[in-house]
Structure 1
Amino acid sequence: MKDVVQLKKSLGIILFILLLSLSVNTVSAQKQVKNIVLVHGAFADGSGWEEVYKILKKKGFNVSITANPNTSFTEDVAAAKRSIDRIEGQIILVGHSYGGAIITEAGDSDKVAGLVYIAAFVPDAGETLLQLVKSGPPTPNSGIEAPTADGFIWYGKAKFHSGFCADLSKEKADFLYDSQVPIAASAFVAPITKASWKNKPSWYIVATDDQTVPIEGARFMAKRAHSKVTEIKASHAVYVSQAKAVADVIVRAANESLK
């Protein structure tokens, strides 16, 4: 009889532990942000996010890719905000390169739970991209050209592969070059009005072989924003060449931003 009583007690304890574990896992799942908005930078379009998109979708995330026109900073921020506005629930906002400036401005929405910067600019209020670019030594392999007569800037063919995406195949680099979206020169002198990283948690990926955003500049901006930093040996196009590593950081942000 005592053995039966003891068995019932043991089964009760086991059941309690299982229910407690289920409760903890449910709460943890509820805290994970399920919406991701990806914002590309200059000299690129949304297609570069394809592998990151696929990885995140397989993990159950709702993923949206913003096709910012790169026609002016104001219009690019408006495009990101349109993506944010159509989503229900909390969002992790992700920006690559110039996209970092866009998410800094657009990220003040109450829907945005966290910011992920990928080899990106992280300006403060009142700063411009031009100020950040000039704040340190230029990258010698950058292929950014002078503005055209109509006020747009392209990334030149001669240095595109080596300066923008050296760790990709020539075939992939050619595709990225031919699909690039030029950026309005005016975007480089448009001051940031809202630095959302001051009241949002942030994560930063430093691409240690970056030939477009100087590495020390990236580290400075990440430190200033109190971002959680991950360094990846990759080119400026790290979100293309190291899609899994980038997706892992985004998932980490989704898991940690509401804690």
Structure 2
Amino acid sequence: MKTLNTFIRTAALVATVSSLAAAASTAAAAPAADTRATTVVFVHGAFADGSAWDKVIALLQSKGLHVVSVQNPLSSLADDVAATRRALDKQAGPVVLVGHSWGGVVISEIGQHERVKALVYVAAFAPSENQSVADLAKDYPKPEGSSFIVADKDGFLTLTPEGMSKHFAQDVPAAQTRIMAATQGPVSGKSFEDKVTVAAWRTRPSWYILSEQDHMIQPALQKAMAQKISARIVTLPTSHVPQLSRPKQVADAIYAAAVYQPKPDVHPPTTRR
């Protein structure tokens, strides 16, 4: 009988170990979060174009994400929102909407689009309802780079090559900043007075990439906006274009937004009377 009991215990132990091994094997084989249905839509800012996201695009595509980079006309907030809406309307699945600089105003206005699941602000303006860029910046010192902005006779603004290399992208190689100066999109100066009617960050989870060495938007203003929108903040020691000088860190933040799954609300919603 003693021998039989020993045999039974040994058999049970072997079965348990086998079950645990099988479970571990299954867990190890489990795929990572499936992001194939998710699209990242990029919205560039002033003094730039859609190619400003090239380095980040390649990194996200390597992770299996679909990517679209909007080419903003930069002629008004309404025109840029319309261009972004067209890009969003074409997507079949959820979208992470990413805005840089002025692009933050655009994504704040259009970010409640039904496809948008999350917002990522990259050294970007994050206005509240009825706020403009001018409203956001008025209580902060004038950034160094603003002295290198020039206007043409039609009121469109460009950044000088010196401003691009020393203040917009001072941590980017000179050869690249020369190309950036040549390909930048002129922006209507009146756009900076356009006020948003919607603040999409109130209804969408948001991330904010804060540039500590920014000469175009004061870092203190960036911090205040990031805190206001209750964003998950990633702070980088970069110029105004972290997507070019620290593309991996920027891509990682965007990927985190793409795989983010909100925790289910364990409490029933409260009905307001």
Distance 1:83 1:258, change over 3 A: farther
Q: Which residue of 2 aligns with 1:36?
A: 40
Deviations 1:220-239 (A, max 9, x none): 11110011111101100111
Indicate if the aligned counterparts of 1:113 and 1:258 stay in contact, CA closer than 8 A.
no
1:11 aligned onto 2:18: yes
**Where in structure 1 are there 5+ consecutive unaligned residues?**
none
Q: Which residue of 1 aligns with 2:257?
A: 253
Corresponding residue SS for 1:158: helix
The amino acid of 2:54's aligned partner reads E
The amino acid of 2:64's aligned partner reads G
Superposed displacement of residue 16, structure 1: 4.2
Q: Which residue of 2 aligns with 1:54?
A: 58
Q: Which residue of 2 aligns with 1:82?
A: 86
Q: What percentage of residue pairs aligned between the two structures are identical?
A: 31
The amino acid of 1:163's aligned partner reads H
Structure 2 Cα separation of the partners of residues 218 and 227 of structure 1: 11
1:202 aligned onto 2:206: yes
Distance 1:38 1:13, change over 3 A: same
Superposed displacement of residue 12, structure 1: 2.8
Deviations 1:28-47 (A, max 9, x none): 72589721111110000011
Superposed displacement of residue 133, structure 1: 2.2
Superposed displacement of residue 250, structure 1: 0.6
Indicate if the aligned counterparts of 2:148 and 2:162 stay in contact, CA closer than 8 A.
no
- TM-score (ref. length: structure 1): 0.92
- TM-score (ref. length: structure 2): 0.87
The amino acid of 2:19's aligned partner reads G
Superposed displacement of residue 91, structure 1: 0.9
Corresponding residue SS for 1:29: coil
Q: Which residue of 2 aligns with 1:215?
A: 219
Q: Which residue of 1 aligns with 2:105?
A: 101
Which one scores higher on RCO, CA 8 angstroms, separation ≥ 6?
A: 1
Structure 2 Cα separation of the partners of residues 212 and 16 of structure 1: 53
**Where in structure 2 are there 5+ consecutive unaligned residues?**
1-6, 264-273
The amino acid of 2:95's aligned partner reads I
Corresponding residue SS for 2:146: coil
Q: Give RMSD over aligned pairs.
A: 2.0
Structure 1 Cα separation of the partners of residues 261 and 120 of structure 2: 11
Superposed displacement of residue 148, structure 1: 2.2
The amino acid of 2:220's aligned partner reads E
